[in-house]
Amino acid sequence: MTDRLVKENNKETDTNAQKVAGGLEAQRAKVAEVRRRQGTANGNGTTKEQINNRPINVELSTDIQNNLGTRRIPPLRPSQFPDAGASVQTLTSSTRPVGTVDVLLVNPPTPDGGIWIRSQHRVGRRSRENMIWPQVSLAQLAAILQPEYSVEVIDANALRMGWKEFEQLLEEKRPKFYLTQVTAPTLKNDMYGVFLAKALGAKTIAFGTHVTPMTLETMRPFPALDFVLRGEPEMTIRELIDRVEGKTPSNPKIVKMLRETSQPQVRRIGMDHVTDEFPVQSNASPYASILGLAWRNPAGEVIINPDRPFIPDLNDLPMPLHELLPLHKQHMPMMKGPFTFIVTSRGCPAGCKYCIKHVSYQNSVRVRSAENMCDELAYLAKLGVHNIHMYADLFTVNRDHVIAFCEEILRRDIKIKWTCNSRVDYVDEEMLTLMGKAGCWFISWGIESANEMVLKRARKGYKKEQAFKALKWSKAAGINNWGYFIIGLPGETEECIQETIAYSKELPLDIALFHVAAPYPGTPFFYEVVENNWFRPGTKWEEVDMDQSTVLDYENLTAEQLEYWQKRATREWSLRPGPMWTFLKGLNSWQGAKSAINVGWQMLKFARA
């Protein structure tokens, strides 16, 4: 039975093949006959080649017409590709879905998934203290943009958000504008967030202590970055977005600040006064007249406009939108409950060569009034926040300002615990006593080194006896002392470092933190390192991190030696009875125990690395 079916099938196949072959043979015969007749009609002078090359006007069978290989190739047509851009623009300019925002202000996921400190025009660094710093600079920029624009702040660091989750969030929010702060150690990481936002159609904007002095060097290799806000960003971002969206601010104080900061500055250079001028542009651009902005022209060239003047009166700034921040995720060691900070002043008159703060605010000092600061404290109390860090380039920069602030806290009976920073040569006993009464419970002191030659070269310039006095007064006022030291400032030797370690043990400190000198772009220290060729060959910006590594190779101290002394200093200071007792005192509550254990573990892990 099976054999019979196979034979029948083969027979049917052979029959079909014979039909196709017969059809083709008949078609060939027809073509040959036509060519023979054409040759006869044209006489004997026609060659065989000429006959064969003539077009054949013969009606092909349906089978042959369906064979694509026999179809005539059409003539080459002009290229004309589809352009769906107009349709896409119509779609994107139509009503935006619920959940999208005009401006997304972002602290992106961290490079290694750890906790990083990168806020308020500071350098970026990994946190050994287990601190999650609030993004108040983003909250301030958000306040500048409301109510005309919908805004949202995303602090991926505080929320412990990874890149996958962050990318999903960008898809949901679909911002028109993406704004982020950029620091040297997190540069490529930050630019990845910019790339993701740009791919979704956002205009991308960056600000901070890295992009201000390194504008061209940042924008050229990262084409996804559209704009840089150089220096103080508040008025520049407001003017930029207003220019794009065709809106104007309704807040009269913002109108006032825009007017005060919209004229090019007259700067004194030597004996001459020079007025900053705008770059000449052949085609007028809406961005060409915005002070403090770097942007790209249609040819892709980076244009840097003249610098924007500083905001004269910080009291004109609207209160930061703290409610947009994850307040209960922000914390500082040994503090119970949510934590944030308020900006009390901008600028510092001291000229420390290594300090990054001068890149943004320079040496001109502006302070907020005591009443204005206490209004913000009262607002934070309503949000349930009673732990505050008084953020300033130098909190004690003006004695009268500090006294008035403390007296206003006491007059209003504001119940808070607060911290601040200071120099040992900018305090006195009366001031510290009043600060303690007003709720100050620890001060971060920039001590840096025990060697006066090193201090003088770094333009720090205090005397060791001043440090002993200041820290003694602070302890007497009930204020804890945190000391910050720098290993590897210019002119330092291993003997100097050992002197500093011994000095740190003599001072009445509750915590001591040792960092490696980091030459951040724009600081005098950076230019000194470049001039003397102290950068380690192959240096990357991600390595300019004062907490985990160094990029310095001095003639007398290698990078490996500096890192060794940093860890040794941490071990020597921490593994003593005094610091151990400070650690144990933190175990008096569950929150305190968690904080103390985290800090202790982070510091020991760092020192053992």
Mean pLDDT of each 10-residue bin along the chain, 609 residues long: 49 51 60 58 51 51 58 82 71 68 95 73 64 90 97 94 96 97 88 97 95 94 97 97 97 97 68 51 79 95 96 98 93 80 94 86 91 98 95 96 98 96 97 98 96 95 94 97 96 97 96 91 92 88 70 91 94 82 57 55 55
CATH superfamily membership of 99-266+285-304? Response regulator (3.40.50.2300)
Residue ranges matching CATH 3.80.30.20 in the chain:
332-608
Q: What is the pTM of this model?
A: 0.81
Q: Environment class of residue 12 by beta-carbon count within 10 Å: exposed (0-12), middle (13-18) or buried (19+)?
A: exposed
- What per-residue confidence (pLDDT) applies to 129? 61
Instruction: Enumerate the β-bridge partners of residue 205.
Output: 179, 227
- What per-residue confidence (pLDDT) applies to 528? 96
Instruction: Enumerate the β-bridge partners of residue 14.
Output: none
- What per-residue confidence (pLDDT) applies to 271? 43
CATH 3.30.300.10 fits 332-608, yes or no: no
Residue ranges matching CATH 3.40.50.2300 in the chain:
99-266+285-304
- What per-residue confidence (pLDDT) applies to 92? 57
Q: DSSP states of 202-234 as a string? A: -EEEEESTTTTTTHHHHHTT-TT--EEE-SS-H
How far is it, in rounded angstroms, from Cα 207 to Cα 546?
A: 21
Coil vs helix vs strand at 130: coil
Sign of CA dihedral 23, 24, 25, 29: positive
Chain-centroid distance of CA 161 in Å reads: 15
- What per-residue confidence (pLDDT) applies to 577? 78
The token pair that represents 546 in the structure block? 């004062």
- What per-residue confidence (pLDDT) applies to 551? 85
Q: DSSP states of 521-586 as a string? A: TTSHHHHHHHHHT-BPTT--GGG--TTT---B--SS--HHHHHHHHHHHHHHHHSSHHHHHHHHHT
320 preceded by a cis bond (ω within 30 of 0)? no
- What per-residue confidence (pLDDT) applies to 539? 78
- What per-residue confidence (pLDDT) applies to 282? 46
Q: Environment class of residue 425 by beta-carbon count within 10 Å: exposed (0-12), middle (13-18) or buried (19+)?
A: middle
Instruction: Enumerate the β-bridge partners of residue 136.
Output: none
Amino acid at 567: K
How far is it, in rounded angstroms, from Cα 197 to Cα 190?
A: 11
- What per-residue confidence (pLDDT) applies to 115? 75
**Are 397 and 368 contacting, i.e. CB atoms less than 8 angstroms apart?**
no
- What per-residue confidence (pLDDT) applies to 416? 94
How far is it, in rounded angstroms, from Cα 5 to Cα 131?
A: 84
How far is it, in rounded angstroms, from Cα 589 to Cα 4?
A: 94
Give CA separation, 456 vs 1, 237, 424, 448, in Å.
Answer: 109, 39, 15, 11
Question: Which stretches of 336-462 are DSSP H helices?
Answer: 357-361, 370-382, 399-412, 429-437, 452-457
**Are 460 and 438 contacting, i.e. CB atoms less than 8 angstroms apart?**
no
How far is it, in rounded angstroms, from Cα 498 to Cα 568?
A: 10
